[in-house]
C-alpha cells in the first residue's frame, strides 16, 4: 500500500540549497570541490551535481544520433539466410511480416512492439519532453514524469531482435539446412537501442519541475 | 541530530524520511515516484538470490545450451556460441555487447552484491564496498537476461518448423538465473543497505 511522507514545507532540495546524490539518494549540503574539481558524495563517492550536467544538450545529441541510426537499422538486412546458394535478406519489418504470414500473431506482435513501437515511441517522447523543458511548460507535469519513467524501463526490451539474431546465427550454421549470417542492420539497431537507453539516463526529469520554481520567483 | 531527508529523483521535492510499516512503500506526494520502501530481511534475501544467480551462471556456461537436430546430425551450442559466431562474422563489437548484456554484466552485478552484502550481514567491513554497491546499482538496467530469454523463445519458434531443438541443462540454469535476477531487483533495498554501509565503520 503506498504511503506518503510528510514534506519539508513543500520545498525542493535545490530551493533549500541542498542536492541529492544521483547514485545513493543522500541529501547533502554542497561543500567545496575536491582536488579533481568535482564535488563527491561523502557516502558513495559519486560525482554530485544539482542537475545532471548538460542534460538537455547531451540528450538532444543522443536522440538525434539515434534517429540517424534508425534509418540504416530498418533499411539494411539484419539477417542473410543462405539456402542452396541463394541468399535471402531479412530486415526487421520483414521478420515481423514473416511471423504474421506464418500465423504466429503473438510473436509477430511481440517483435513489432519491441523493435518498432518502442524505439519510435521512445524517441518521440524524449523529443517531446526536451521541447517541454526548453519551453518551461507547466502542462501535465505528473503525466510527463510518468511517461519518462515508462520509457526508462521499457527501452531495454528493444534488444530482443539483437538477441534473436545471435541465437539464430548460433543454431543455423553450415548444416544441410542453411546458414544464417548477421547483416549490418543489426549493428545499427543495437546502436539505436544503446543510444536511446543512454539518452533516457542523461535526461533529468527534475528540469521539467524546475519550471514551477522559476515561476515562483 | 540532523533530520533525515530524501529528495524525489523525478521532481526534487524534499521529504522527511519516516519509518514505514512492513511491506509498504513511500511515494512522492507531488509526482508519485517511489521514494523508498520497507523490505523485510532485504539483505538476506538479496544475498540468497545473488548467490543462486552466480551458481546458475557457472552451470549455464559448463553444460550445452541448445542443440539443433536436423537430418541425423546434431549441432550443439553453448551460451556464448552466438557471440563467438558473431565475432567470426566480423561483428566483434556486437558480439561484445551481447556477451556483456547477457552474461558478463549480470555476473559482475551479482558478484558485487555478494561482495557488499555478505560481509555486511556478518558485521565486518571490506574496502571499496561503497564503490561496489554503486557499481551494482548502476549495472541494473544493463543486465538483460530476461530479454535474452525472450529472444531464445522467438528463435526456437522460428526454427521449430525446420528442425528439432533440444534444450540443454544450461537453458534451465539460465531460466533460473533470470528469476534470481528478478528476485534481486525485488529484494534489494538501496535505502536500508546504504544506511547499513554507513553504520559499518
pLDDT in tens, B128-171: 889 999 999 999 999 999 999 999 999 998 888 888 899 999 99
The burial class, CB within 10 Å (0-12 / 13-18 / 19+), for B164 is exposed
Residues of B in contact with A3 (CB under 8 A): 20-21, 24-27
Q: B162 — contact with chain A (CB < 8 Å)?
A: yes
Q: How far apart are CA B78 and CA A46, in angstroms?
A: 38
Predicted local distance difference test score (pLDDT) of residue B92: 93
Report residue B120: phi and psi, to 5°: -60, -40
For chain B, the domains span: 1-38, 42-199
Mean pLDDT across chain B: 91
CATH topology of domain B42-199: Butyryl-CoA Dehydrogenase, subunit A; domain 3 (1.20.140)
Predicted local distance difference test score (pLDDT) of residue A35: 59
Among the listed residues A132, A134, A112, the one whose alpha carbon sits nearest the alpha carbon of residue A121: A112
A-contacting residues in B 106-135 (Cβ below 8 Å) = 130-131, 133-134
Predicted local distance difference test score (pLDDT) of residue A6: 46
pLDDT at A4 over 50: no
pLDDT at A177 over 70: no
**Collapsing DSSP states into helix, strand and coil, what is residue B167?**
strand
Q: How far apart are CA A110 and CA B157, in angstroms?
A: 13
Report residue B18: phi and psi, to 5°: -115, 150
Report in angstroms the alpha-carbon separations of B101 from B54, B132, B171: 15, 18, 17
Q: How far apart are CA A116 and CA A105, in angstroms?
A: 15
Q: How far apart are CA B107 and CA B111, in angstroms?
A: 6
Region B11-15: mean pLDDT is: 90
CB atoms within 10 A of CB B145: 25
Among the listed residues B81, B77, B73, B60, the one whose alpha carbon sits nearest the alpha carbon of residue B164: B73
Confidence grade of residue B3 (pLDDT, cut at 50, 70, 90): low
Q: How far apart are CA B34 and CA B52, in angstroms?
A: 28
Q: Count Cβ neighbours within 10 Å for each residue of B10-34 and write b for 16 or more, e otherwise.
A: bbbbbbebeebeeeeebbbbbbbbe
Look up residue A168 and give its three cell numbers: 539464430
Tell me: the pLDDT tens digits for B82-126? 999 999 988 999 999 999 999 999 999 999 999 999 999 888 888
Residues of B in contact with A162 (CB under 8 A): 94, 97-98, 151
pLDDT at A108 over 80: yes
**Collapsing DSSP states into helix, strand and coil, what is residue A128?**
helix
Question: Cβ contact (<8 Å) for B27 and A162?
Answer: no
Predicted local distance difference test score (pLDDT) of residue B128: 87
Tell me: the pLDDT tens digits for A56-79? 999 999 999 999 999 999 999 999
Helices B81-88/A160-171 angle, 10° precision: 80
Among the listed residues B109, B110, B56, the one whose alpha carbon sits nearest the alpha carbon of residue B79: B56
pLDDT at B72 over 50: yes
pLDDT at A2 over 60: no
Q: How far is A194 from chain B (nearest CA, A)?
A: 9
Confidence grade of residue A7 (pLDDT, cut at 50, 70, 90): very low
Counting one residue from A and one from B, how many pairs have CB atoms under 8 Å apart? 224
**Of all residues in chain B, what percent carry a pLDDT higher than 90?**
59
Q: Is B50 left (phi over 0), alpha (psi -120 to 50) or beta?
A: alpha
Region A182-207: mean pLDDT is: 95
Tell me: the pLDDT tens digits for A114-154? 999 999 999 999 999 999 999 988 888 899 999 999 999 99
pLDDT at B2 over 60: no
Q: Which residue has the higher pLDDT, A201 or A49?
A: A201
Shortest CA distance from B90: residue in chain A:
A182
Q: How far apart are CA A182 and CA B94, in angstroms?
A: 10
Helix H or strand E encompassing B68: strand B66-70
ipTM of the complex: 0.92
Residues of B in contact with A44 (CB under 8 A): 130-131, 133-134, 194
Q: How far apart are CA A182 and CA A184, in angstroms?
A: 7
**Collapsing DSSP states into helix, strand and coil, what is residue A23?**
coil
Mean pLDDT across chain A: 87
Report in angstroms the alpha-carbon separations of A167 from A81, A135, A205, B151, B158: 14, 45, 37, 7, 11
Look up residue A53 and give its three cell numbers: 550536467
Predicted local distance difference test score (pLDDT) of residue A215: 67
Confidence grade of residue A1 (pLDDT, cut at 50, 70, 90): very low
In contact, B70 and B165? CB cutoff 8 Å:
no
Q: How far apart are CA A168 and CA B97, in angstroms?
A: 16
Amino acid at each position: 500500500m503506498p504511503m506518503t511522507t510528510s514534506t519539508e514545507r513543500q520545498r525542493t532540495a535545490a530551493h533549500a540549497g541542498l542536492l541529492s546524490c544521483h547514485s545513493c539518494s543522500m541529501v547533502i549540503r554542497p561543500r567545496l570541490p575536491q582536488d579533481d574539481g568535482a564535488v563527491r558524495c561523502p557516502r558513495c563517492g559519486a560525482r554530485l551535481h544539482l542537475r545532471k550536467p548538460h542534460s538537455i544538450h547531451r540528450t538532444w545529441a543522443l536522440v538525434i544520433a539515434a534517429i540517424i541510426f534508425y534509418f540504416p537499422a530498418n533499411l539494411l538486412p539484419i539477417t542473410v539466410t543462405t539456402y542452396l546458394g541463394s541468399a535471402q535478406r531479412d530486415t526487421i519489418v520483414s521478420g515481423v511480416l514473416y511471423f504474421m504470414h506464418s500465423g504466429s500473431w503473438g510473436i509477430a506482435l511481440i517483435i513489432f512492439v519491441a523493435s518498432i513501437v518502442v524505439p519510435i515511441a521512445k524517441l518521440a517522447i524524449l523529443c517531446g519532453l526536451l521541447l517541454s523543458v526548453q519551453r518551461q511548460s507547466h502542462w501535465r507535469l505528473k503525466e510527463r514524469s510518468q511517461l519518462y519513467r515508462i520509457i526508462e524501463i521499457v527501452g531495454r526490451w528493444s534488444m530482443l531482435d539483437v538477441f534473436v539474431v545471435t541465437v539464430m546465427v548460433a543454431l543455423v550454421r553450415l548444416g544441410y539446412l542453411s546458414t544464417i549470417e548477421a547483416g549490418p542492420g543489426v549493428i545499427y539497431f543495437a546502436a539505436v537501442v544503446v543510444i536511446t537507453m543512454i539518452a533516457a539516463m542523461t535526461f533529468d526529469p527534475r528540469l521539467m519541475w524546475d519550471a514551477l520554481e522559476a515561476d515562483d520567483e | 541530530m540532523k533530520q533525515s531527508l530524501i529528495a524525489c529523483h523525478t521532481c526534487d521535492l524534499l521529504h522527511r524520511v519516516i519509518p514505514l510499516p512492513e511491506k509498504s512503500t513511500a511515494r512522492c506526494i507531488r509526482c508519485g515516484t517511489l521514494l523508498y520502501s520497507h523490505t523485510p530481511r532485504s539483505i538476506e534475501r538479496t544475498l540468497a538470490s545473488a548467490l543462486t544467480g552466480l551458481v546458475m551462471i557457472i552451470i549455464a556456461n559448463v553444460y550445452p545450451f541448445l542443440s539443433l537436430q536436423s537430418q541425423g546430425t546434431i549441432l550443439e551450442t553453448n551460451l556464448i556460441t552466438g557471440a563467438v559466431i558473431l565475432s567470426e562474422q566480423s561483428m566483434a563489437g556486437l558480439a561484445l555487447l551481447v556477451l556483456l548484456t547477457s552474461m558478463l554484466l549480470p555476473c559482475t552485478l551479482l558478484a558485487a552484491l555478494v561482495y557488499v552484502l555478505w560481509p555486511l550481514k556478518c558485521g565486518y567491513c571490506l574496502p571499496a564496498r561503497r564503490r561496489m554497491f554503486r557499481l551494482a546499482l548502476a549495472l541494473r538496467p544493463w543486465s538483460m537476461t530476461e530479454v535474452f530469454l525472450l529472444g531464445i523463445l522467438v528463435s526456437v519458434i522460428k526454427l521449430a518448423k525446420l528442425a528439432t531443438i533440444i534444450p540443454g541443462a544450461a537453458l534451465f540454469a539460465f531460466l533460473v538465473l533470470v528469476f534470481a535476477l528478478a528476485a534481486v531487483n525485488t529484494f534489494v533495498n538501496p535505502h536500508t543497505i546504504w544506511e547499513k554501509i554507513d553504520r559499518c565503520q
